[in-house]
Amino acid sequence: MEDVTDKVFRRLVADHGEPDVLYTEFTSAEYLCSSQPEKALVRLEIYEKELGRRPLVAQIWGGNPEQMYRAARLVAERGFAGVDINMGCPVKKISRKGACSALIRMPSVALELIQAVKEGARSVSPQIGISVKTRIGWSKVETQEWCGLLLEQQLDALTVHGRIAKQMSEGWADWQEIAKVVQLRNASGWSTRIIGNGDLTWPQLEPRLQETGVDGLMIGRGVFSDIGIFRREGYRPYDTWSREEKLNLLERHIRDHFEAWGQTKDYEKLKKFFKVYTSGWEGALDLRAQLMSTHRHEESLAVLASYRAFAP
């Protein structure tokens, strides 16, 4: 997730659960191939130990096969276990470029991009996984046609978010449509793993698996309200975590963010996380408000230290 799953947050989440696979933020192939790729390369940064720990997949996006070929090579050279192609982001400034969810309307381009990514990535690493993340349609549900076509491409995995592009994040994800993709895959005999995505919180994980027969579940926003959502044994609902546990997470996130990025990343983006760690006890909102008015890591650490010193 953009501005969320950088190496700092991935490590923090992995230390509090057992996700099977983690994904990078989506990364523009065009920027990766430009003369100043630094801003895009930052999204593919990993901790050295991360690669051996569990599969890590880099997600890329674009509309130009040549750029996607080169971006996929670059991802493979960096040792990622897989390349995921974003064909689901509905944001207009991106779909206007003929990329991401716009590809649902341009199936022949989508197929060219998949081919380019396969060739690019496998020219470096023949075993690398190739996957697509998409939605169930553009302006209407077209699961059978669109996901059926994607399944024919013999991808290693297909992640299906149960909304159409026009919906953005409105309404609820349609898990019956996700189940249809599983049925299509089963009927076809292809081995593509189907991963369901949309509105998942911890109590729904097991029922969604059972109802739909998907091979995996992708959790997005659910992690914001439950840092331990990937915990198998010994899961504890996040609202039972103590204040001190949440403040420790907050402190760690700020320190790790500073150590990893210093002032090179926009500090404002870190504020997205403050809510995650400041909820569930009296006084949490006051602390959050103080944190939101900070502009540097030292300031938020000072706010936290003074809160700890004076909080009852």
Which tokens is 69 given?
A: 């070929």
Q: Which residues bind ligand FMN (CB under 6 A)?
A: 1-2, 4, 25-26, 59, 86, 88-89, 133, 161, 197-200, 219-222
- Helix (H) / strand (E) element for 149: namely helix 143-151
Is the Cβ of residue 94 or residue 121 nearer to ligand FMN in the bound state?
94
Q: Which residue has the tokens 């004076």?
A: 310
Residues identified as active-site: 89
Min dist. Cβ of residue 84 to ligand FMN (A): 7
From the CB of 201, what's the least distance to ligand FMN, in Å?
9
- Shortest Cβ distance from residue 142 to ligand FMN (Å)? 18
Task: List CB contacts of 252: < 8 A, sequence separation 6 or more.
Answer: 12
In degrees rounded to 5, what are phi and psi of residue 97? Answer: -80, 5
Nearer to ligand FMN, 99 or 200 (CB): 200
C-alpha torsion sign, points 118, 120, 123, 127:
negative
Q: What angle do CA 26, 263, 30 make, to 5 degrees?
A: 30
Closest Cα partner for 93 from 84, 105, 101?
A: 101
Strand partners, 61: 28
Least Cβ distance, residue 281 to ligand FMN (angstroms): 25
Q: 182 or 301: whose CB is closer to ligand FMN?
A: 182
Complex with ligand FMN: residue 62 or 222, whichever CB lies closer: 222
Determine the Cα–Cα distance for residues 178 and 159; give it in Å rounded to an integer.
9
Least gap, CB of 91 to ligand FMN (angstroms): 9
Tell me which residue has its CB nearest to ligand FMN.
220
